[in-house]
Amino acid sequence: MAEARAAATAVKAVPVLATPEDYAATFEGFKPGTKVLQDLCARFHDRNTYSPGGVEGQRETERRAAQKEVVTWILRRMGQIKGDENA
């Protein structure tokens, strides 16, 4: 029974459809893309993720962390073509 539950909740790998070069072309090689990336960083990445306030604060913290993770993914993908070791 426990094995069935574990299998049902297992996260499936998502195939990567966009290359690091695609991310760079979108967010670095395209002027509006650069503005969009700067906006995303300012709104969701370059801010504190912690929000005080009990259960509601925990939910807000988790929401902010999830938003930050998306922008971090974009930045990491772009860093892969530059040889960034942290990508």
* Per-residue pLDDT tens digits of the chain, which is 87 residues long: 556 555 555 667 888 789 999 999 999 988 999 999 999 999 999 999 999 999 999 999 999 999 999 999 999 998 876 665 555
Residue 27 in domain: yes
Structural domains of the chain, count = 1
pTM above 0.85, yes or no: no
What whole-number distance in Å separates Cα of residue 40 and Cα of residue 72? 10
Q: Amino acid letter at 68? A: K
Q: How far apart are CA 70 and CA 68, in angstroms?
A: 5
In a domain, 6, yes or no: no
Domain extent, residue 60, equals 16-80
Q: Does residue 2 lie within any of the structural domains?
A: no
